[in-house]
Amino acid sequence: MGTIKSGLNANTPDRIFVDAGAVYLDYGLSTQRLLGATRGGNEFNLNRVIRDIEVDGVKGSTKGLRRVTEVRPQLTCNLIELSLDNLLKAIAGANQDDSDFQVAVEAEYLGVGDDAALKAIDNDNIVVDSEKVFLDGVQLTRSTKYDSRFVGDNAADNKNFELGVGDWVKGDATDAIEIEADGYDGNCMKFVAGATSIAAFLTLPGGNGAQLTNLVVGQYYKIRVALKKGTFTPTITISCDAGSKAAIAPTTSWVVHVIEFIATGTDASIVLTGSAPPTDEDDLYVSYLELERVDGDYVINWEKGEVIFAEVDIPTAGEQLTMSYTHKSGAAVTHDKIRGGDIADDDFISNVALVGTISGKGDDIICIVENALADAGLSLATSPRDEAVPTIVFTGHYDPATPTIEPWEIRYPRA
């Protein structure tokens, strides 16, 4: 029998990468988004350089004497869809410079523990991160805005209950949990106790980083949650297994509770426990969840018009809360201006992923470049009766915290 002259076999049709695939930024994170439409396909390249250790008298490469000297993984995208955010991502160190259109506003009154005045401000024209908040004339420290610790495919349902209750687990089989409209902000989760309900009546497991990103011991975090009771009367303790505990007595109106803590462990599982087990048919409503790292006195959320303080730091009736901020001048703003600058840590994208199809597989193949930066520059070429298709090259970078791990990953589907 002769030697087979082709690699074609019965499995070949089920092992082919077909079509161009789609490019995602921050794949698998709560900030995941499609980069946009491409034309001409995309390219994933590991760019690994392997060097021979030469030995006198040996005419070629020697087993055991080869080493990796450079790894610069890149994902090249031929992007046909231009947007402001895509242009900012495509130019390393670029920033949106609206200084020509900015006007400072001094001492805008916010109220006393009341965000109504903030909600009335024209938030669409606010210059991001320009505000300064003062309590009785003393400037407070604004926390850096860190990524949400809610991650995974069910992140939207786990914290906002958009389409369901996600990975939340009821304490007893007789309990019931479901989503309802009219939460504090969007939908809410309704808990109804069963006949044999237990004290720890609701849990969102961290899943070892699958639902809630593991925490770092010694770092400062806040849990935010809005509660409204129906007939559930016991005091509720909200705890994160990494260290936070706060006793809360819910009322019949929505109240946002912010619990601050320093992590003593890594498990971010969130647990709601009653001072006594809920009794049959007791109900409680949960909404507006967030868990994030913080490093200042307050977090500001312009989209929803609020300054979020820890529960113990909310200004009282005897304290005056004021702020200054910068806004765009309004009618004169016709363009968003992009300018270059130094490369900062927040210019790096957590990851850029090429997601495609393997013929015969039910799941996608995913090629990931980590700590990505578009450092190859930007070129826009136009021509008659055609469209500009700039090539964007995202290069992966080593994480200083894990310098031995190459900044790329391929996830090949099992089925």
Tens digits of per-residue pLDDT, 25-61? Answer: 999 888 888 988 888 889 999 999 999 999 999 989 9
pLDDT in tens, 223-235: 989 999 999 988 9
- Residue 102 has a pLDDT of 67
Rounded average pLDDT over 117-127? 62
Residues 6+ apart with CB under 8 A from 236: 227, 247, 248, 249, 250, 272, 273, 274, 275, 284
Strands of 91-198 (E only): list them: 95-96, 102-111, 132-135, 138-139, 169-170, 176-180, 188-192
- Can you give the pTM of this predicted structure? 0.54
- What pLDDT, on the 0 to 100 scale, is given for residue 107? 47
Q: What is the mean pLDDT of residues 389-401?
A: 91
Report the pLDDT value the prediction gives residue 7, as an integer from 0 to 100. Answer: 81
Taking only the tens place, the pLDDT of each residue in 128-175 is 777 788 888 888 888 877 889 999 999 999 999 999 999 999 999 999
Q: What is the mean pLDDT of residues 174-193?
A: 94
Q: What percent of the chain has pLDDT over 70?
A: 88
**Record: fold of 155-293:** Jelly Rolls (2.60.120)
Domain 12-95+341-411 in CATH 2.40.160? The answer is no
Cα–Cα distance for residue pair 11/160, rounded to 1 Å: 43
- Label residue 330 by pLDDT band (50, 70, 90): low
The two three-digit tokens of residue 40, written as one number: 């001409």
**Does residue 333 register a pLDDT over 60?**
yes
Confidence at residue 114, expressed as pLDDT on a 0 to 100 scale: 46
Cβ count within 10 A of residue 285: 21
> How buried is 248 (Cβ within 10 angstroms: 0-12 exposed, 13-18 middle, 19+ buried)?
middle
Where do you find CATH 2.60.120.260 in the chain? 155-293
Q: What is the mean pLDDT of residues 296-305?
A: 69
Average pLDDT of the chain to the nearest whole number? 85
Q: Which helix (H) or strand (E) holds 249?
A: none
For residue 85, the SS3 value is helix
pLDDT at 113: 45
What per-residue confidence (pLDDT) applies to 139?
Answer: 85
pLDDT at 47: 93
275 pLDDT tier (thresholds 50, 70, 90): very high
Boundaries of CATH 2.30.110 in the chain? Answer: 12-95+341-411
Direct distance between the N- and C-terminal alpha carbons of the chain, in angstroms, rounded to an integer: 34
